[in-house]
Structure 1
Amino acid sequence: MYVLKQFVKAVVLPPFVWLTLLLTVLVFWRRRWARRLLGLTIVLVLLLHSKLLAHGLGYSLEARYRPLLDPHSAGSYDAIVVLTGASIPATGLIPFPSIHSAMFRRLEETLRLYQIDPKPVLVSGGHANPFSPNLGENGIACDYLRRWGVRPEHIFSEAGSRDTFESAVAVAKILGAKGWRRYLLVTSAVHMPRSMQVFQVVAPEPVPAPGDFTTPEFGLSPLGLKPSEGAAQDVWASLHEYVGMLNYAWRLRFDRP
């Protein structure tokens, strides 16, 4: 089921969706509707590279949960849970393993919260891509926290989960074993709605503590109207979250652990 989900996600998200449309246009070019479909595909590609759409989608997700500037305002809690993201292995010309910028900012927010109120930190998430070798994402994240000053005895690792849903299930078991209940949940702001969707049900009681905000105040200039590769990446990230939320709604209803 997990591998099937990865295939479905690849099919419904850009760029596969508009590549499929272009292929359809080429195959059926002699048909009148195919030429109309070409126009629709061009409009779709421009939209998917639009800063206006990127800002709207990103804002709709990141504005749902405000940053937790002072963790004391959340009341008492037992731990900090941070969800892992992509890592960069030491291959080719890369001399040592590192982490993706989004994961860096998640850990940065975790460290900030820890420095204000030192609590046990649970790093949750393992290897997500079933078609690539395990890069040790969880261990790299734990190592960063240790180097930044989080006490080793305060760092706990859960590296068996492959997605956010599985993380929630695994975290719930660890919380029960440790006698912890209320915790700060740290992840990227764009990912927080999907995380809270499942953690509130499977592993209560999470307190959202989003980091890695990427949506600035919107301002449109003449150059801002041109298609942007960065905007396309932001649109993809937002659409990925919405598709994931649909998947989790189905799993919570029909496949809840």
Structure 2
Amino acid sequence: MKFLLDLLFRVLQLFTEPYFLVFLAVVIIALLRRKNKSKKWRIGILITTVLMIIFIGNGFLGKLTSAYLQKNYLHTPEMKAAAVQNPIIVVLGGGVVDIDHTEKVHTMSYSRMVTAYQLYHEYQKKNQPCTILISGKGRGHISEAELFREDFKKMGVPDSDIIKEDKSMNTYQNAKFSSEILKKMGNTSLYLVTSGFHMKRSVALFKTFGLKPIPQASDFIDTEITVFPNSYNAAFTFVMLKEVVGIWQVQLYNSLGVNK
């Protein structure tokens, strides 16, 4: 059953890819023309595709999606070291880039790194224990967790305060493997650091594995309402739409009890 659901959502996610939508429209128009269907149908599909591109590219849909994903995390609790005793700060990786055979963490990862360090520093100022758990393998030769660890060490975080979870390849595995580590430690008090658009799904998955993370969004994305469509609005809108589909998937899987 899970295999079929995974396949269904893989297909559904195709509809958040701009090239697929254009390709689909072209194929449908070509098939209608070949079968000598009404010209009105072909024109209708073409107009619908153009309007959809405008609606996505002018930032309007992006604004709605951005609010749905991020508004609950705009005003996160102030970083006070006394709020949680002996916490784990779980930082989710944002990907690895390989340029000229040199691997670096993705640009969005740096905001997560800074947010995690700021929170860690608040505890250090009060001489209170705090640990950073870095979650992510990535697709490079060096894991995201290891690249994060190297940068945290440059910031002055000792190895003794860093835990690497370097097996996970997606958010589901981030939550699953991190929860296994936390439960072995007997500590489920945690802050969860990731991007704002990614937080809703991440929190839902960590709750799936019995954890109650305190969200600390590191960055936010939004679109700008414009008269003419542009690639900036389209790119971020499609990113956020894919995240919405991911949230639906988590909710359905949880309701069916197939997410563990």
TM-score (norm: length of structure 1): 0.85
Counterpart residue number, 1:125: 136
Of residues 91, 96, 111 in structure 2, which corresponds to 1:105?
A: 111
Q: Residue 24 of structure 1 corresponds to which residue in structure 2?
A: 28
Paired-residue identity, %? 22
Contact 2:96 2:138 in 1 (8 A): no
1:53 counterpart = 2:61: yes
Q: Deviations over 1:118-163 (max 9, x none)?
A: 41100112236xxxx6563232222222222221111111111221
Aligned match for 1:13, one of 6, 12, 16: 16
Q: d(CA) in 2 for partners of 1:137 and 1:112?
A: 20
SS in 2 for 1:71: coil
Which secondary structure does the structure 1 equivalent of 2:91 belong to?
strand
1:18–1:44 CA contact under 8 A, matched in 2 = no
Q: What are the within-5 Å matches in structure 2 for residues 165-184 of structure 1? A: 165-184=172-191
Offset, 1:198: 1.5
TM-score, scaled relative to structure 2: 0.84
Q: State the distance in 1 between where 2:135 and 2:171 align.
A: 9
Label 1:8 to 1:186 Cα distance change in 2 as closer, same or farther (>3 A).
same
- Structure 1 98/166 Cα, relative in aligned 2: closer, same or farther at 3 Å? same
Unaligned runs of at least 5 residues, structure 1: none
Q: Which runs of 5+ in 2 are unaligned?
A: 125-129
Alpha-carbon separation, structure 2, partners of 1:179 and 1:6: 35
How far apart are residue 73 of structure 1 and its match? 6.5
- Correspondence list, 1:1-257, <5 A: 1=3, 4=7, 7-8=10-11, 10-15=13-18, 16-29=20-33, 30-32=36-38, 33-65=41-73, 66-72=75-81, 74-91=83-100, 96-118=102-124, 119-127=130-138, 136-215=143-222, 220=225, 224-252=226-254, 253-257=256-260
Change (3 A) 1:256 1:54: closer
Q: CA separation of 1:91/1:61 partners in 2, compared to 1, >3 Å: closer, same or farther?
A: same
Following TM superposition, by how much is the alpha carbon of 1:3 offset from its aligned partner in structure 2, in angstroms? Answer: 8.0
| Residue identity opposite 1:12 in structure 2 | F
Tell me how far 1:80 sits from its aligned partner: 0.3
CA distance change for structure 1 residues 11 and 43 in 2, over 3 Å: closer, same or farther? same
What CA distance in whole angstroms lies between the structure 2 residues aligned with 1:229 and 1:105? Answer: 23
Q: Report the alpha carbon displacement of residue 10 of structure 1 after superposing the two structures with TM.
A: 4.6
CA distance in 1, matches of 2:248, 2:55: 22
**Greater Rg over alpha carbons, structure:** 2
Amino acid at match of 1:13: T
8 Å CA contact retained: 2:84, 2:189: no
Distance 2:154 2:178 in 1: 24
2:13–2:245 Cα contact (<8 Å) kept: no
SS in 2 for 1:150: coil
SS of 1:205's partner is: coil
| 1:4 Cα offset (Å) | 4.4
